[in-house]
Amino acid sequence: MAIYSKEEAQKLLKKVLAYSKADECEVSLSGDASGNIRYALNAVSTAGDISTLSLAVSSTYGKKSGTATINEFDDASLEKVVRRSEELAQLAPENPEYMPLPGPQEFKDAITYVPATAAMTPDTRAVAVATSIKVAEDAKLEAAGFLENSTSFYAILNSKGMFAYNTDTNVNFTITMRNAQGTGSGYAARGYNDIGKLDTYSATKIAAQKATGSVDAKALEPGKYTVILEPVAATYMMENMFRSLDARSADEGRSFMSKPGGGNRIVDRLMDEKVTIYSDPFHPELPAATWSRDGIPLEKMNWIEKGVVKNLSYSRFWAQKKNVQPVPFPSNIIMEGGDASLEDLIKSTEKGILVSRLWYIRMVDPQTLLLTGLTRDGTFYIENGQIKFPVKNFRFNESPVIMLNNVEALGKPERSISVESYRSYLVPPMKIRDFTFTSLSDAV
């Protein structure tokens, strides 16, 4: 059994903790059951079914800690893993940044678990994929896609009495459609906690439209353009920044959030006032874990509010050093937008480029968060509010911070996954002026 209920997990963790003789002890149990199916050229290529369960024990004497883990669950093994972590702790170097474990906390239950997703089987996955392949065959296109669902849980109990449990389900679906000549390509990506929200038919249809529409792309000169980024493109462009909202690296002078002369940019206006970025584990469209690894309840928290930096995350150690309250790293990220649809954004554009997706984004300069990457799977020229023709893909060199200073308009936020990490975010489509394309690519 890979997935334990809250009661089952707590019972096992209490039993393990009873063996502890250390000053402080934390025990955690995690399990994961997942399945996947992959297809290409309109046929299934690989599929798999994997489950794992593991127990970890961290013991501490003074400021010396040791961790040991096991995946056997008889009484002798449970005691053995506790003793082993205690031996490791005695041998470990002192960690001057060790923080005492937190005491009991009240954590609200997360809304991340959906029974229907947990009940998925190789057959239900195959049926969802068959629907997608049928769309490709009908459209005389070639489909390559991937469907993966997982059910997992994580539970912690410590010697100060803190217990936390979370379980979640996830399903991700990505689909690329190409024509046989290799001159057109389209893509769609979907990620949900609830399989009931996944429609592989409509996602494949969208990818098919992009594939057909991107044939015979014309070359435009690289340079600065107004762009409309679809949510899947905007998400990928901003993910690096979302992960860099950390006070310590800013205070140390090695982050885009560092202030010249020292300190960080909290309270500084860093972006356009249309930009508000927050986290909220109880958002119904993007539910997430309600507690952090260091035992702090997660609540709604603003990071960027109307372009001003409101908060950066502070570990318990860094918060103590800076004499502030700790701010846990968030479990989700949401960006506010407006009511406009993608079509509305296109209609309001005199001249611009519609970007369906971005690809292979890498950091060029962490000082400015300058990123490079390329457009992919449907790039279109817009004139007088209409899509005129497909254009060849571009390489860009742009910083999300500069981009978020050049916001013309934001649309309605949509749940979207990052095409590299497969994490879900809630992000609007966005119209950006002066986006920097630096060269052309022949890739389709």
Partner 1 sequence: MKRKEFLQLSALNLGALAIPKFMLAGREIDESALLNDGIDVKIKKELADVALNAAKAKGATYTDVRIGRYLNQFVITRDKRVQNVANTESFGVGIRVISNGCWGFAATNEVTKEGISKCAERAVAVANANAKIKANTVKLVPQKGYGQVSWKTPIETNAFAVPVKDKVDLLLKVNDLAVSGGASFINAAILAVNEQKYFASTDGSYIDQDIHRIYPTFTVTGIDKASGKFTTRASFSSPVGMGYEYLNPKEDEKVKGIVTRYKDRYDILEDVKAATEDVKQKLAAPSVEPGKYDLVLDPSHLWLTIHESVAHPTELDRVLGYEANYAGTSFLTMEKLKSGNFKFGSDIVNIVADKLQKGSLGAVGYDDEGVGTKQWDIIKEGKLVNFQAIRDQAHILGLKESQGCCYAQSWSDVQFQRMPNISLMPGKEKKSVDDIIKNVEKGIYIIGNGSFSIDQQRYNFQFGGQTFYEIKNGKITGMLKDVAYQANTQEFWNSCSAIADKSDYRLGGAFNDGKGQPGQSNAVSHGCATTRFNGVNVINTARKI
Contact flag: residue 56 with partner 1 (CB under 8 A): yes
Choices 31-39, 198-206, 334-342, 344-352 (CB under 8 A): range interacting with partner 1: 31-39
Distance CA 439, CA 441 (A): 7
Interface pattern 90-129 for partner 1 (x via CB under 8 A) = --xx-xxx-----------------------xxx-xxx-x
Strand, helix or coil for residue 173: strand
Residue 325 interacts with partner 1 (CB under 8 A): yes or no: no
Measure CA 220 to chain center: 33
Residue 370 Cα to chain centre, angstroms: 20
Nearer to partner 1, 123 or 350 (CB): 123
Positions in 377-396 near partner 1 (CB under 8 A): 393, 395
Residue with tokens 């959030």: 257
We find the least distance from the C-beta atom of residue 443 to partner 1, in angstroms, to be 4
Q: Is 264 in the site for partner 1 (CB under 8 A)?
A: no
Determine which residue in the list 168, 280, 336, 408 makes contact with partner 1, applying CB under 8 A.
Answer: 168
Looking at beta carbons only, is 281 or 428 nearer to partner 1? 281
Look at residues 89, 79, 72, 69 and name the one whose alpha carbon lies nearest to residue 28: 69
Run of H or E including 54: strand 43-61
Alpha-carbon distance of 209 to 37, in angstroms, equals 23
In the complex, the smallest distance separating the C-beta of residue 153 from partner 1, rounded to whole angstroms, is 8
Pick the closer one to partner 1 by CB: 240 or 349: 240
Angle at 169 between CA 164 and CA 173, to 5 degrees: 145
- For residue 377, how many other CB atoms are within 10 A of its CB? 26
Distance CA 280, CA 331 (A): 8
Options 256-264, 302-310, 341-349, 410-418: segment touching partner 1 (CB under 8 A): 256-264
- Least Å distance, CB 383 to partner 1, is 25
Tell me how far apart the alpha carbons of residues 236 and 425 are, in angstroms, rounded to a whole number: 10
Binding of partner 1 by 399 (CB under 8 A): yes
Interface with partner 1 (CB under 8 A), residue from 75, 87, 138, 343: 87
- 310-313, Cβ contacts within 8 angstroms, sequence gap of 24 or more: 310/266, 310/267, 311/245, 311/266, 312/245, 312/246, 312/247, 312/250, 312/257, 312/264, 312/266, 313/245, 313/246, 313/247
Q: Is 59 in the site for partner 1 (CB under 8 A)?
A: no
| Smaller CB separation from partner 1, 120 or 345 | 120
Q: Which stretch binds partner 1 (CB under 8 A): 13-21, 242-250, 346-354, 425-433?
A: 242-250
Please identify which residue in 59, 117, 152, 169 interacts with partner 1, judged by CB under 8 A: 152
Asked if 211 touches partner 1 (CB under 8 A), the answer is no
Give the burial class of 21: count Cβ atoms within 10 A of its Cβ; 0-12 exposed, 13-18 middle, 19 or more buried.
Answer: exposed
By CB under 8 A, residue 440 contacts partner 1: yes
* Contact between 269 and partner 1 per CB under 8 A: no
Q: Binding partner 1 by CB under 8 A: which of 5, 46, 202, 325? A: 46
- Taking the least distance from each CB to partner 1, the nearer of 227 and 404 is 404
Among 43, 119, 215, 324, binds partner 1 (CB under 8 A): 43
Distance CA 233, CA 235 (A): 5
**Identity of the residue, 25 or 340, whose beta carbon is nearer to partner 1 in the bound complex:** 25
Which CB atom, from 171 or from 444, has the smaller least distance to partner 1? 444
Give the side-chain half-sphere CA count within 13 A for 313: 18
Compare residues 17 and 211 and give the one whose CB is closer to partner 1. Answer: 211
Name the residue nearer to partner 1 (CB basis): 5 or 46.
Answer: 46
Binding test (CB under 8 A) with partner 1, winner from 5, 11, 18, 45: 45
**DSSP 3-state of 409:** strand
Q: Which residue number, 185 or 349, has a Cβ lying nearer to partner 1?
A: 185
Q: How far apart are CA 436 and CA 50, in angstroms?
A: 43
Q: What angle do CA 245, 247, 250 make, to 5 degrees?
A: 90
Name residue 365's beta-bridge partners: 370
